[in-house]
Amino acid sequence: MNSKTLIPASLNQPHVESFPYPPFEKQRQPFPGLAGKMKPVPDHGETSYKGSSRLEGRKALITGGDSGIGRAVAIAFAREGAAVVINYLPEEEPDAKEVVDLLRSEGRKIIALPGDIRNEKFCQKLVHDAAEQLGGLDLLVNNAGRQQFCDSIKNLTTEAFDATFKTNVYAMFWITKAALEYLPRGSSIINTSSVQAFQPSDNLLDYAQTKASIVAFTKSLAKQLAADGIRVNAVAPGPYWTVLQTSGGQPQEKVEKFGEQAPLGRPGQPAEIASLYVTFASSETSYSSGQVWCSDGGTGTV
């Protein structure tokens, strides 16, 4: 595997690693998959992210916090001083245990609340339990997502279409609505959209629709909640090396070349996007709401 780096030597710091380039090994996992079984294992910032107390005393709920971008955000938030609750599917327990053990070994407060967010009652309970265990809630990251490629609408079943919308759109609506009971002025809601909202792939028909919906939800809700002092923003990742891709998100031939078409020539690692979520969560961006920030390796999608 090519281990070249795009980081100029003059900027190379001790904590900066050389990130992997395609081609990648053949690998396929059943959905939802485990990051720990990927080759190479994604970098979530386990050793590289250094906090600076930007979120000291904050209380965050992060869906999909066991792996991928969600895990990177959980690590970053915790090291910035926030207490964190992560949600994930029960099948993802091995990944969740890794991040929980890591952060607890550092003396961080992290709580794991597994469950399926496609169920409205569970979403309501998740928010209630998170707020109860944290003693409040002022950061919400709607990050969990479902992506399963399908080459033709003729083969896209209603069951699959429904599962994608329930995970990516309905759950965001249910969780956000429930969270408003707890979120005080100064709170921040951050949603995970995608470049697929703006440049949809032909084999991600249902997924791309949900990510476009997240953009509209973000911009509309930001206007609704402005008077309440709650900011709503979104991050739109491009090709990121997460288990979402290797567990049915892309056909195997695309996994092997994943990220190759980006100007930087490789997929992003989750550790490389976490700081965008930290910035949106921080009071430093108190005048930013209704925004969508893209990180796509140089394509300039948004």
Contact, 280 vs 188, CB < 8 A?
yes
**Does residue 207 have an active-site annotation?**
yes
How buried is residue 70: exposed, middle or buried, by Cβ count under 10 Å (0-12/13-18/19+)? buried
Helix-then-strand count for the chain, H and E: 9, 7
How buried is residue 163: exposed, middle or buried, by Cβ count under 10 Å (0-12/13-18/19+)? middle
C-alpha 230/C-alpha 222 separation (Å) is 8
C-alpha 173/C-alpha 167 separation (Å) is 10
Backbone angles phi, psi at 63, to 5 degrees: -85, 150
Cα–Cα–Cα angle for 281, 231, 75, rounded to 5 degrees? 20
Residues written for the chain: 302
- Amino acid 125 reads K
What proportions of the chain, in percent to the nearest 5, are helix, strand and coil?
A: 40, 10, 45
- Amino acid 119 reads N
C-alpha 176/C-alpha 198 separation (Å) is 23
Active-site residue among 21, 49, 182, 207? 207
Cα–Cα–Cα angle for 194, 53, 102, rounded to 5 degrees? 70
Question: Six-digit token pair at 118?
Answer: 């496609």
Catalytic residue set: 207
